[in-house]
Structure 1
Amino acid sequence: MHTLLPFLLAMIAAIVLLNMWAAKLKIAYPILLVVAGLLVSFIPGLPAVKINPDLIFFIFLPPLLFAAAWSISFKEMKKWWRIIGSFAFLVVFFTALSVALVTNHLIPGFTIALGFLLGGIVSPPDAVSTGAITSFVKIPRSTSAVLEGESLLNDASSLIIFRFALVAVGTGQFVWQEAALSFLWMVIGGVAIGLLLGWIFVQAHKRLPTDAPSDIVFTLIEPYFIYWVAEQVHSSGVMAVVSGGLYMSARRLTFLNSASRIKGHSVWESFIFVLNGIVFLIIGLELPEIVDGLRSKGIPLSTAIGYGLLVTGVLIAARIISSYAAMTATLIFRPSVAPRASSGLMRITMPLLLGWTGMRGVVSLAAALAIPVTLADGTAFPYRNLILFITFVVILLTLVVQGLTLPYFIKRIGSFGGIMNEEAEEQARRKMKQGLKQHAYQYLKNKYDNELKGHAGMEKIMKHWEEKTQAADDSWMNEEMKVIFVGLLDSQREYLSELNKDVSVDEEIIRQQLYQIDLEEERLKII
């Protein structure tokens, strides 16, 4: 323990420093973390990093999925549900099937069940990697919502494939009827459990005398509890966490106060950053041990690299083919909902760009590491080290090759800016702020018209919202004025919630303004 703790602390410090370096170089930090982990693994004398396969899902997945569910725009998910659904389920299954058929045909002794197992592991693109890479180029929120929504749901679909394939490898048989019923229970049961527990947690936050620290601690516990309960009844813990997270996210204004939302945002941002960083470092740190396992099984390293390149090519090709197939089907059957492009070239290149966003990362590694070392009868799990190595190659290649070239392709082809026919972000923000100022002015005018006359404090408030200037002296803000001002802020939140129902308004802009209102309310507490 005394040797492992300094190493873990050094890992976290390295994650922070590498993130700073990545920002300076303008590249995605997962790329540097993977490469750094690989280089560090060759330093002699370092303790081996090993995680129990039974705990890997439970440690990393619940908070990562929960945080993703809170950050995504549910309104945008509903708007683009067709393309999100097709990529999250149909494309994942097509990709897993492609990997299964190719590996079964070209890798000696690799069964269809093992192929589906590998396909389930490497089929889901990673939202963290995609988000980190696209942060260096300007893309509309709707495009981000498609990628985030796909990554949120395809984790569930791919892990369901992974679980069934794991059973098939262990038992040597696969009963379709039982699998279909089990699939339905995993999806429906997982969603139901997530919604039920989400409702219970919301009620608990409302009724218990919680403060910001206790609210934050509860939110850290909740995803783990949701996942554990769902897994105990053999449903999908992933679906439960996603559905519970979406339910609670949509009601964050009703059960968390401004202090809990502000402080919780910072805590969760740091927590998720550290978790992602550890996983990406582990990807590199695990490689030497995986290579030793390959050699012990008599598999040449060059052969394993070739298999990794093959599977990576299959993944990229399957995603690009699926992107064009989805676009073609949409244009034929539902042309009214197809994303509009500014030119014929943009129409042709949009599926290519969407197909090129399939970077793999955290979920793929977690699934690969979760493969048991032995089967139920005590024999070694077949091809485990080869599957781990192929997964590592896939993650490394998609991060480095696609990750480094995606920003260039977006800028070269003309960016996603002309793809989605939506209101410009800056124009939408100005429109929202103007409406918010007008709403605040009318709220004070209608509700406190009598108090406005001859009251210096209220006149300053009116001037603040009418002219949008900040009074230099805050001494006028007494307790009575604070009550009025807090009421005004609550009214603004209601206005923004109603405005968010407009599908043409970007929800991210609404959330940014709500965060500013929370900050304003917290500022009142220290005046």
Structure 2
Amino acid sequence: MHTILPFLLAMIAVIVLLTMWAAKLRIAYPILLVVAGLLISFIPGLPQVKIDPDLIFFIFLPPLLFEASWSVSFKEMKKWWRMIGSFAFLVVFFTALSVAIVAHQFIPGFTLALGFLLGGIVSPPDAVSTGAITKFVKIPRSTSAILEGESLLNDASSLIIFRFALVAVGTGQFVWQEAATNFLWMVTGGVGIGLLLARFFVQAHKRLPTDASSDIALTLIEPYFMYWVAEELHCSGVLAVVSGGLFMSANRLNFLTSASRIQGFSVWESFVFILNGIVFLIIGLELPEITEGLHDQGVPLRTAINYGIVVTGVLIGARIISAYAAMLATLIFRPNVLPRAGSIKRRLLMPVLLGWTGMRGVVSLAAALAIPITLDSGVAFPQRNLILFITFIAILLTLLVQGLTLPYIIKRWRLFDGLVDEESEELTRRKMKQGLKQHVYQFMKGKYENELNGHVGMEKFLKQWEERSKATDDSWMNDKTKLIFVELLESQRQYLSELNKDPKIDEDIIRQQLYQIDLEEERLKII
């Protein structure tokens, strides 16, 4: 304990420093973290980082998925659900199938079941990597919504493949009827359990005398509980966390106070940042142990690298082919729901871009490390070290090759020139704020018209919201005006919630304004 604790603290310090360096270099921080972990692993005398395979999913996945479900725009997910569904399920299945066939044909000793196991591990793209990379370039709201929504659901589909492949490897058989029934239960049961528990947690937050600290503590527990209950009932823990997180995110204004939302945002941002950083460092730190296992297995390092390169090529190719197939199907059956492209050239190149966003990361590593060391019979799990190594190569290559070139491709091909209208976003903000001012004025005039006449404090109160005065003198704010102030803030939240139903309004802009209202309410408490 006395040796591992300083090492863990040093890992966090390295994560922070490398993230700052990545921001200065304008590259995605997961790239630097993986390379740094690989270099650190060669330092002699460092303790080996070992994580129990049975706990790898439970430690990292629930909070990462829960936070992602709170960040994604549910309105945009509903709008682009066809594209998101096809990428999250059909593309993942096609990718896993492609990897299974290629691995079975070209890797000696790889059965079709082992191929599907590898395919399930490496098929889901990593949301953290894509988000970290695309923040350096402007992309349309529709594209980011598709990528974010896909990242939430593709983990579930890939892990379902992973679980069935594990059973097939362990038992040597695969019963389609039983698999179909289990698949249906995993999906419906996972979503149902997630929604049921989310409703319970919402009521718990409402009815219990919680403050900001206890609210945040509960939100840290909730994703783990959702995941654990679903897995105990043999459902998809991933879908439980995602569905529950989306439900709670949509109702956050109903059960969390402004203090809980503000402080919770900071706590969760830091918590998820550390978790992601640790995982990407572990990816690099695990390599020496994996290569030792390859040596013991008698697989030459160069041969294993070649296998990894081939599988990575299959991943990229399958995703690009799937993107073109999805575009073609949408053009034929639902041409009106295609994202705006602007020109034929852009429309033809867009699937290449979507295919090139398939960086692998956290989920692939977690799945690979979760492979048991031995089968139930006590025999060593076949090809475990080779699967781990191929997964590492796929993560490393997609991060380095795709991650470093994606911003350049977007800028060089000018795919989104004219599609990302910053002036339009700024105009939307101005219109929203003007609408809020008008809403405030009508609210005050309609409900407190008598108090406004001749009352200095109320006149100042109205002026402060109508003109957003910069004066710092808050001596006029008494208990009466504070109550009205809070009521007015709540009225603004309701106005923004209604405004968010407009499909043309970017939900991120609404959330930013809601955050400002929360800050205003907290400022009021210290006056």
TM-score (norm 1): 0.99
1:416 alignment partner, SS class: coil
Indicate the SS of the match to 2:286: helix
Give the deviation of 1:455 after TM superposition.
1.6
Which letter maps to 2:142? Answer: S
1:472 Cα deviation from its structure 2 partner: 2.7
Does residue 385 of the first structure (1) align with residue 385 of the second (2)? yes
Per the alignment, residue 243 of structure 1 pairs with 243
Matches within 5 A, 1:201-240: 201-240=201-240
Runs of at least 5 residues in structure 2 that lack an aligned partner in the other structure:
none
Distance 1:146 1:416 in 2: 15
Note the C-alpha offset of 1:345: 1.2
Q: What's the secondary structure of 2:144's corresponding residue?
A: helix
Other-structure match for 2:327? 327
Question: How does 1:125-524 map onto structure 2 within 5 Å?
Answer: 125-418=125-418, 424-524=424-524
> In structure 1, what is the Cα distance between the partners aligned to 2:456 and 2:473?
12
Per-residue deviation, 1:471: 2.6
Paired with 1:415 and 1:30, the residues of 2 have a C-alpha distance of: 25
Q: Deviations over 1:386-411 (max 9, x none)?
A: 00000000001101110111001111
Structure 2 letter corresponding to 1:66: F
Task: Output the CA distance in 2 between the equivalents of 1:182 and 1:423.
Answer: 50
Q: Which residue of 2 aligns with 1:59?
A: 59
Per-residue CA deviation, residues 39-75 of structure 1 (Å, 9 max, x unaligned), is: 0000000000000000000000000010011110000
> Cα distance, 1:419 vs. partner?
5.1
CA contact (8 A) 1:365 1:392 kept: yes
Alpha-carbon shift at residue 437 of structure 1 (Å): 1.4
Q: Equivalent residues in 2 for 1:92-111 (5 A)?
A: 92-111=92-111
CA contact (8 A) 1:341 1:418 kept: no
CA distance in 1, matches of 2:196, 2:342: 44
The question of whether the paired residues in 1 share the 8 Å contact of 2:36 and 2:284 is answered with: yes
Deviation at 1:425, TM superposition (A): 1.8
Please report how far the alpha carbon of residue 467 of structure 1 lies from its aligned counterpart in structure 2 after TM superposition: 2.1
| 1:471-519 superposed Cα distances (whole Å, 9 cap, x missing partner) | 3311111111100100100000000000011111000100000000000
- The alignment covers a number of residue pairs equal to 527
Decide whether the 8 Å contact of 1:226 with 1:240 is kept in 2: yes
Question: Which one-letter code corresponds to 1:390 in the other structure?
Answer: I
Q: Distance in 2 between matches of 1:478 and 1:143?
A: 48
* CA–CA separation in structure 2 for the residues paired with 1:201 and 1:152: 21
- The equivalent of 2:22 in structure 1 is 22
8 Å contact kept, 1:139–1:417: no
**Cα-to-partner distance string for 1:428-466 (whole Å, 9 max, x where unaligned):** 212211111111111111111111111222212222222
Distance in 1 (CA, whole Å) between partners of 2:413 and 2:438 is: 41
SS at match of 1:424: helix
Q: How much does 1:283 deviate?
A: 0.1
Quote the Cα distance in structure 2 between the aligned partners of 1:31 and 1:181.
40
Instruction: State the AA in 2 paired with 1:243.
Output: S
Q: Which moves more between the two structures, 469-478 or 367-376?
A: 469-478
Which runs of structure 1 show a deviation greater than 6 angstroms over 4 or more consecutive aligned residues?
420-423
CA contact (8 A) 2:294 2:385 kept: yes
Structure-2 change in CA distance of 1:315 and 1:48 (3 Å):
same
Query: What is the CA RMSD across the aligned residues, in angstroms?
Result: 1.2
SS in 2 for 1:46: coil
Separation of aligned partners in 2, 1:468 and 1:12: 42
CA distance in 2, matches of 1:342, 1:155: 32
Per the TM alignment, residue 177 of structure 1 is displaced from its structure 2 partner at its CA by: 0.2
Q: Aligned partner of 1:448: which letter?
A: Y
CA distance 1:417–1:511, shift in 2 (3 Å):
farther
Q: What is the distance in 2 between the residues matched to 1:117 and 1:8?
A: 31
In structure 2, C-alpha distance between the alignment counterparts of 1:87 and 1:418, rounded to whole Å: 26
Q: CA contact under 8 A between 2:139 and 2:420: conserved in structure 1? A: no
In the alignment, what sits opposite 1:68?
68
Offset of residue 469 of structure 1: 2.2
Please state whether the residue corresponding to 1:502 is helix, strand or coil: coil
Whether the 8 Å contact between 1:287 and 1:389 is mirrored in structure 2 is yes
Q: In the alignment, is the contact (CA less than 8 A) between 2:461 and 2:481 conserved in 1? A: no
1:423, distance to aligned residue in structure 2 (A): 8.9
Kindly tell me: are residues 492 and 331 of structure 1, through their superposed partners in 2, closer, same or farther at Cα, counting changes over 3 Å? same
Q: 1:6 offset after TM fit, Å?
A: 0.3
User: What is the CA deviation profile of residues 68-102 of structure 1, one whole-angstrom value per residue up to 9, with x for unaligned ones?
Assistant: 11110000000000000000000000000000000
Q: CA deviation at 1:342?
A: 1.1
**What letter matches 2:495 in structure 1?**
Y
Q: Please, which runs of 5 or more residues in structure 1 have no aligned partner?
A: none
1:422 to partner: Cα distance: 11
Counterpart CA distance in 1 for 2:461 and 2:184 is 56
Give TM-score, length-normalised by structure 2.
0.99
Amino acid at match of 1:354: L
Q: How does 1:36-55 map to 2 (within 5 A)?
A: 36-55=36-55
Contact 1:31 1:399 in 2 (8 A): yes
